[in-house]
A and B are shown apart, each in its own frame.
Chain A
Amino acid sequence: MIQTAVVEQLIRTGRSFQLVFLIASGIAVYYAYNVAKGGKLWDIRPIEALDAIGESIGRCAEMGRPVLVTPGISSMTSSSGGAQMLAGLTVLGEVAQQAASIGVECTTNSSNQQIIIASEAIMRNALTAAGKPELYAPGKYVRWFGGGQFSYAVGCAGQILEEKPGLIIFMGYFLADTIVTGETGARVGAIKIGGTLGAIPFLAMMCDYLMIGEEMFAASALITKDPFITGTIASQDWIKVAATAVMSIGVILYAVGIKTIYTIMGI
């Protein structure tokens, strides 16, 4: 009884279930990673948009047009957009490396100073990894378009009209700015690939290929082609199945008047 009281005081009300779920998720990710290290190759379904990235970079090489990767308008410390921005920056690094290895220029932009600094580091690393460190120069590949959503949109649209990229990847946190940038991309005939959590309707309208929800986080792992990192996608599925099971069982039990799961989740 005393131990229960101590636990109740220690853990904030309503968050015990969340804490258990988070710890279980961490264990699942670490387990999946270790299983992958042991040699297991998970069978991940193909994400159309990812396959399209590789083909489109090749198309850009044939046409002599650059690639533009936009990680969005948020900062990395934002609670709503930080994770999406990081996924976008991972894709930026991989795409920049792939593009540089076949002689295609990759540029990026942002509205946030943290992302500018991170993007510069990523471009430098990507070019070095592609064996072309001499191509890097500060400011050559990363553009800044002000701190606001639409100052960014207008600037990005201007960059698209100027550079005429063959491929535009919208991967990160976006809002209505994608309406402007996506339509401008269509005007220059670019292939557009998008992935976000928030402004999915806008990206669905503007992009040729779209990654919805967790696909963008899976893509940021799959694009590295690292089997260990890819293994963590399996844990994502396990967690999703567990969450779905808890929700489904909880809803059914609640409907028949049993509030056990509802009560547990509220502890």
Chain B
Amino acid sequence: MKIPDLKSQYVWVTVALLAYIIPGVFPLGTGFPMSDTTMEIYDIVQSLPEGSICAIGGSGVFAFDLESSAGTIPALKIMAENGVRIINVPLGTEAVQYEKFLIDASRIETKYGGTHEYGTDWIQFPYIPGGASGLVAFLDDIHAASPADVYGTPLDELPLGRELTNWEDIDLWICPHWGFPTIVQYVTGERGITSISFAQSGAYARYSPYMMSYPGQVYMTNGFLGGAQMEQLVGMKGLGHAAIDAYQVLSLLFVVFVALGNATMLTAGEEE
């Protein structure tokens, strides 16, 4: 019996129904295994003393970095609870909006009833151009590289800004984007600051050897799965959990369609 070759429109409709619409309306509540690395990351973030400073930077493209937000938002909640202060260091043009989105989405600001006040507990820097050279300039002298925040307020007028001098004031670096190798090289490799990437799954596949090169200093989570694991550790359900539902169905559909494609080819061959 010949299996007809499916037009791509039928594949698309199947994916839309089974992976988007149905899980969107009826959440599957898919379970997933916990990873040791994610638990170590949770412990590291949890153990930061009150008053520590965590830098978030290395992000570049908002749409891609949404996958990182699944892990970064729970980490921000932990840091807010423990009084860790945050500086957002945008090294990409859309990073300013993304980092502000992270703060808004995590609801840690006082305007949402949270604990963090702008200027005292967190600062948003403007876009720092130059890629690696901009990052190095920032690490060596923060005030020289970026004398004012994104709103134009001089750093000296902000309580947190007055305390910032250089890389020695930073206790942890979180990188949400594919710029992680730059962060590993200049932040961890040359200055010894622990760096964490809530990496997109494609980046995780490529950059996971950095964890072997810098054991105990470089950590990465794996895409939305890592984000869902962080959410579970923090006790929230967010984008990570929603994405795992979709991935559950999509991974199954992928295997089914590959098998169907081969079956179509075989039956067409038999017919001939």
Using a CB–CB distance below 8 Å, which chain A residues touch chain B? Answer: 149-150, 183, 186-187
Contact = CB atoms under 8 A, between A and B. Distances in A.
Contact of A187 (B8, B61, B63): B8
A16 to B, nearest CB: 19
Contacts of B8: 183, 186-187
A187 B61 CA distance: 29
5 contacts: A149-B61, A150-B63, A183-B8, A186-B8, A187-B8
Residues of A contacting B: mostly: helix
Nearest to A147: B93
A230 B63 CA distance: 42
Contacts of B63: 150
Interface string B1-30: 000000010000000000000000000000
A146 to B, nearest CB: 14
Interface string B53-85: 000000001010000000000000000000000
A187 B12 CA distance: 13
A183 B8 CA distance: 9
Interface residues of B, number: 3
Contacts of A183: 8
A82 to B, nearest CB: 14
A19 to B, nearest CB: 20
Interface in B130-183: none
Nearest to B61: A149
A133 B61 CA distance: 41
B93 to A, nearest CB: 10
B231 to A, nearest CB: 25
- Top 4 nearest A-B pairs (CB, nearest first) are A187-B8, A183-B8, A150-B63, A149-B61
Interface string B75-116: 000000000000000000000000000000000000000000
A183 B12 CA distance: 12
B171 to A, nearest CB: 28
Contacts of A150: 63
Contacts of A187: 8
A183 B61 CA distance: 24
A110 B8 CA distance: 27
Contacts of A186: 8
A150 B61 CA distance: 11
A183 B7 CA distance: 12
A151 to B, nearest CB: 11
B156 to A, nearest CB: 35
A186 B11 CA distance: 14
A149 B63 CA distance: 11
A48 B61 CA distance: 36
A150 B64 CA distance: 11
Contacts of A149: 61
B88 to A, nearest CB: 22
A179 to B, nearest CB: 12
B255 to A, nearest CB: 15
B246 to A, nearest CB: 17
B67 to A, nearest CB: 12
A192 to B, nearest CB: 15
Nearest to A187: B8
A190 to B, nearest CB: 14
A21 B52 CA distance: 44
Nearest to B206: A198
Contacts of B61: 149
Nearest to A198: B206
A121 to B, nearest CB: 28
Nearest to B202: A176
B209 to A, nearest CB: 16
B173 to A, nearest CB: 22
A187 B63 CA distance: 26
A186 B63 CA distance: 26
Nearest to B63: A150
A186 B7 CA distance: 11
Nearest to A150: B63
A149 B178 CA distance: 15
A108 to B, nearest CB: 24
A59 B218 CA distance: 52
B200 to A, nearest CB: 11
A149 B93 CA distance: 14
A11 B61 CA distance: 37
